[in-house]
Each structure stands twice: as C-alpha cells, then as structure tokens.
C-alpha cells in the first residue's frame, strides 16, 4: 500500500493522464462550497475511486468531469481538450439506472449510438456484444419493468460501454442492489477493467468496495472537498478475485482509510 498525503498535481502526459483536473472549485447558489482547488490526474487503463465523507463533493466532481456541471473555477481536460459540456469521450453510469421505460434492452443499450448517427445494423451488433459482456444475452427484447434492479443496472453499464468512450464515470452504480448482487457486480467490474482499456472514475461510499475494485483511491476531505490522500492498494488481482478480500494489504488498506475518514466524523 502506497499513500500520498496532499499530493501535488503531477504534470500530465499524453501517455498516462486521460483526465486532468486542475484547481477545480465549485460554489453552489447560496454560497455553499462543494470543492476547493481539487487537482488530480486519472491515468488510462486504471480505475480510480473517489471516497470521502458525505458532502465532500464526490458526485459534484464526477459531474464536472462529465460536463454536466460547470466548475466555478479551474479546469478539466480530457485527452488535452478542456471540458465545456458533455462529450463523446465520456460515458456516465447513473445510480438510478436512468433507462428509457418504453425501450427494450437492446434499444436502451443502442440509444447512444443512435444519437451519434450509427446505422441500425452496426449499433444493434455493438449493443448485442455489450449485452453479452454484462451477462444479459437472451434479454435483448425485454423492457426495464421486466428486469430486476441488478439487471437494469447491467443494462445501464452496457449502454455506457457501447459508445466506446475513453472515460467511464460511475456514480455509486451498485448502491441500489442487494449485497449478493453488489459483490457479483464488483467481480464483473474487475474483469471488465482488464478487457476494456478505459479510464474508470468510480464514486462510492463503501471503503471495502473502493479497496476491492480500485487501482487508486482518492480520499477527499470533509466539505469543501479537497484531495487529502491518494492511496494505491498494491493488491495482486489475478484470476482468484475472492482472494483479494483475504489479502493482508486489503485489510490494512481498509483500516487505514477508515482511520483517515473517522476524524471527519468525530
């Protein structure tokens, strides 16, 4: 486990930093400050979790990266281009599924490709590929109301993957499902991360989940959110994903993060 306390913003290069957050602050109407001068880079091919106490600005930062919210000051760059709104290089997996109830599974997954003008045959073939990748083959013609909560979230994940964005932004995507389904999702996410060479930015309230799935964990301070620590678990992630939670470094990292967060709760 490696811990960087109050890390400086490293200079980005084209080979490692896909997303660059530079001195981002966010003040909402009424003077409520959610973020204060946050600087962090997100490397290609890694999954970085944002973790911190309630109100520290995790989701705010994710939405600023997505272009769904403007920063009050500072800048976000994706592949060197400043973010000024939503763009094709980023895909968002919402906490509440955000599926179109009138569309089938394949229609929901293919929707982003349809907006981009991709022909029907190509977008449906792509959609079928990612439907299979998230374990929903055979459900292409079902509607959201015919699916369980876990299956609906798989549809949302397949839709985000189908547009082949460089950056996948995930806002507590597993919080609305039961514990067994959540654990299966976490295992599936580890496998997807190996297959998909994307930059994953993952918001969670769960310390255990963050340590299990992450290459890096960015710990934010109590609001206004600032980067307090960047933690690299350095846990071997081979074929035996069950072994991760038994690894001594996993247990030590969970304890270290808990002690770092507990001071905000006293």
87/52 Cα distance (integer angstroms): 27
Residue where one domain finishes, among candidates 164, 190, 214? 164
Predicted confidence at residue 231, as pLDDT, reads 94
Same domain, 146 and 195: no
* 194-208 pLDDT, tens digit each: 888 899 999 999 999
Same domain, 173 and 242: yes
Predicted confidence at residue 206, as pLDDT, reads 93
In the DSSP assignment, the letter for residue 157 is: H
* Residues of the chain with confidence (pLDDT) below 70: 6-15, 239, 266
What residue ranges in the chain does DSSP mark as E strands? 2-5, 17-27, 33-43, 47-51, 73-78, 81-82, 90-93, 167-171, 199-203, 216-220, 227-232
3-state secondary structure of 257: helix
Q: Which residues form the domain of 39?
A: 2-89+167-262
Predicted confidence at residue 13, as pLDDT, reads 41
Same domain, 114 and 194: no
Burial of 91 (0-12, 13-18, 19+ CB in 10 A): buried
Contact 95, 171 (CB under 8 A): yes
* 116-160 pLDDT, tens digit each: 899 999 999 999 999 998 889 999 999 999 999 889 989 999 999
Same domain, 197 and 230: yes
Same domain, 65 and 117: no
Same domain, 133 and 200: no
Closest CA to 52 of 233, 213, 223, 200: 223
Predicted confidence at residue 12, as pLDDT, reads 40
The total of structural domains in the chain comes to 2
Predicted confidence at residue 197, as pLDDT, reads 85
Residue where one domain finishes, among candidates 164, 194, 211? 164
Closest CA to 219 of 237, 199, 203, 235: 203
Predicted confidence at residue 7, as pLDDT, reads 58
Same domain, 202 and 152: no
Kindly report whether the peptide bond that precedes residue 225 is cis, defined as omega within 30 degrees of 0.
no
Residue where one domain finishes, among candidates 125, 141, 164? 164
232/251 Cα distance (integer angstroms): 13
């Amino acid at each position: 486990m490696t811990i960087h306390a109050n890390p400086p913003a490293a200079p980005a290069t084209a080979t490692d930093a896909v997303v660059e957050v530079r001195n981002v602050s966010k003040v909402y109407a009424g003077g409520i400050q959610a973020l204060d001068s946050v600087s962090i880079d997100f490397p290609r091919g890694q999954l970085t979790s944002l973790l911190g106490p309630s109100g520290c600005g995790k989701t705010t930062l994710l939405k600023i990266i997505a272009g769904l919210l403007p920063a009050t000051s500072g800048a976000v760059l994706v592949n060197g281009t400043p973010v000024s709104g939503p763009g094709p290089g980023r895909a968002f997996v919402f906490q509440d599924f955000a599926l179109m109830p009138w569309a089938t599974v394949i229609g929901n997954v293919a929707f982003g490709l349809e907006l981009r003008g991709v022909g029907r045959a190509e977008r449906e073939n792509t959609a079928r590929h990612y439907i299979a990748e998230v374990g929903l083959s055979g459900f292409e013609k079902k509607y959201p109301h015919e699916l369980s909560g876990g299956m609906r979230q798989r549809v949302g994940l397949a839709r985000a993957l189908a547009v082949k964005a460089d950056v996948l932004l995930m806002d507590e995507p597993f919080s609305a499902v039961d514990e067994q389904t959540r654990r299966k999702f976490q295992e599936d996410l580890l496998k997807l991360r190996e297959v998909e060479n994307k930059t994953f930015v993952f918001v969670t309230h769960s310390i255990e989940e963050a340590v299990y799935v992450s290459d890096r964990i960015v710990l934010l301070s109590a609001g206004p959110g600032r980067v307090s620590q960047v933690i690299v678990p350095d846990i071997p992630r081979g074929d035996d994903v069950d072994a991760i939670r038994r690894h001594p470094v996993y247990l030590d990292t969970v304890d270290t993060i808990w002690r770092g967060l507990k001071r905000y709760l006293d």
